[in-house]
């Protein structure tokens, strides 16, 4: 069963320098029916004006990763990390016992478009850590490339949770499948373009909860960039 979350139904935040669409409840946007899915708590589709950004602020006990689509995201944190994240890069920050960080559009002329994603960890009070990995387009072309996993398998980023995240690029006849089975759920987010998920057409910004399916099939993409979250079957995050 696929439950589609339309892009147009997402929450909206507009601060001038930032325009964001919230798949799940976040900040001033609250919807009792959209309180995350399994351990996936936040998908924010953020567009930041040149020079704009999030000033230094704290996090704790959360797995936070950024997936840059266009532009460059400049990150600094209390662990001493300073980096710039560009398209193809995936950044993971495990907040653990506590970390402070800032995120800015590093360009004075070009806009920034990125996804900020939060996953609830399976342990509190872990040591904070920072990871960043680049995945070239050819690694994602016509397949689902593992980018996040508990063990950091196959060059992916490690996460403190029984969750795996895949990224794929699909055009024309390109297709890929992911085995699910009765003991796993999935969430599909279309970052750009369009694609069919188990025969259901999804457009840019759309998402879909996937339950009680043996597998997920992605096909007939048109300029599609897709993230797939392979998740435990519990329905709501636990805090």
159 phi/psi in degrees, rounded to 5: -130, 145
On whether residue 77 sits in a domain, the answer given is yes
Q: 84-126 pLDDT, tens per residue?
A: 999 999 999 999 999 998 999 999 999 999 999 999 999 999 9
On whether residue 238 sits in a domain, the answer given is no
What is the residue-averaged pLDDT of the chain?
Answer: 94
For position 239, what pLDDT does the model report?
A: 37
Give the tokens for residue 163.
């969750």
Q: 158-189 pLDDT, tens per residue?
A: 999 999 999 999 999 999 999 998 889 999 99
pTM for the whole structure: 0.95
Alpha-carbon distances, residue 96 vs 36, 54, 63, 66, 160 (angstroms)? 20, 20, 8, 17, 10
For position 235, what pLDDT does the model report?
A: 57
On whether residue 237 sits in a domain, the answer given is no
- How many angstroms separate the CA atoms of 217 and 175, rounded? 7
On whether residue 174 sits in a domain, the answer given is yes
For position 223, what pLDDT does the model report?
A: 98
Which pLDDT band holds residue 237 (cuts at 50, 70, 90)?
A: very low
Domain span including residue 146: 2-231
Contact 130, 158 (CB under 8 A): no
Among 118, 67, 68, smallest CA distance to 95 is for: 118
More confident residue, 183 or 128: 128
Sign of CA dihedral 168, 170, 173, 179: positive
Contact 103, 22 (CB under 8 A): no
How close are the terminal C-alpha atoms of the chain, in Å? 27
How many folded domains does the chain comprise? 1
Specify the CATH number for the domain of residue 179. Answer: 2.60.120.10
Q: 25-68 pLDDT, tens per residue?
A: 999 999 999 999 999 999 999 999 999 988 899 999 999 999 99
On whether residue 30 sits in a domain, the answer given is yes
On whether residue 239 sits in a domain, the answer given is no
On whether residue 178 sits in a domain, the answer given is yes
């Amino acid at each position: 069963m696929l439950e589609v979350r339309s892009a147009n139904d997402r929450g909206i935040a507009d601060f001038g320098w930032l325009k964001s669409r919230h798949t799940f409840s976040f900040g001033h946007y609250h919807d009792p029916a959209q309180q995350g899915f399994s351990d996936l708590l936040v998908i924010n589709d953020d567009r930041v004006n040149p020079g704009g950004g999030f000033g230094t602020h704290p996090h704790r006990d959360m797995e936070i990763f950024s997936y840059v689509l266009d532009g460059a995201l400049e990150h600094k944190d209390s662990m001493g990390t300073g980096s710039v994240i560009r398209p193809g890069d995936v950044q993971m920050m495990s907040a653990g016992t506590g970390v402070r960080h800032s995120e800015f559009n590093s360009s004075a002329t070009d806009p920034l478009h990125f996804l900020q994603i939060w996953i609830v960890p399976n342990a509190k009070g872990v040591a904070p850590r920072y990871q960043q990995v680049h995945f070239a387009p050819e690694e994602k072309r016509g397949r689902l490339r593992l980018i996040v996993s508990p063990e950091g398998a196959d060059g992916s980023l490690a996460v403190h949770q029984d969750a795996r995240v895949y990224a794929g690029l699909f055009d024309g006849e390109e297709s890929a499948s992911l085995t699910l089975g009765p003991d796993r759920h999935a969430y599909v987010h279309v970052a750009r373009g369009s694609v069919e998920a188990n025969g259901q057409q999804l457009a840019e910004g759309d998402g879909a909860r996937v339950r009680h399916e043996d597998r997920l099939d992605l096909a007939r993409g048109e300029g599609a960039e897709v993230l797939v979250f392979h998740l435990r079957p519990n329905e709501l995050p636990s805090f």
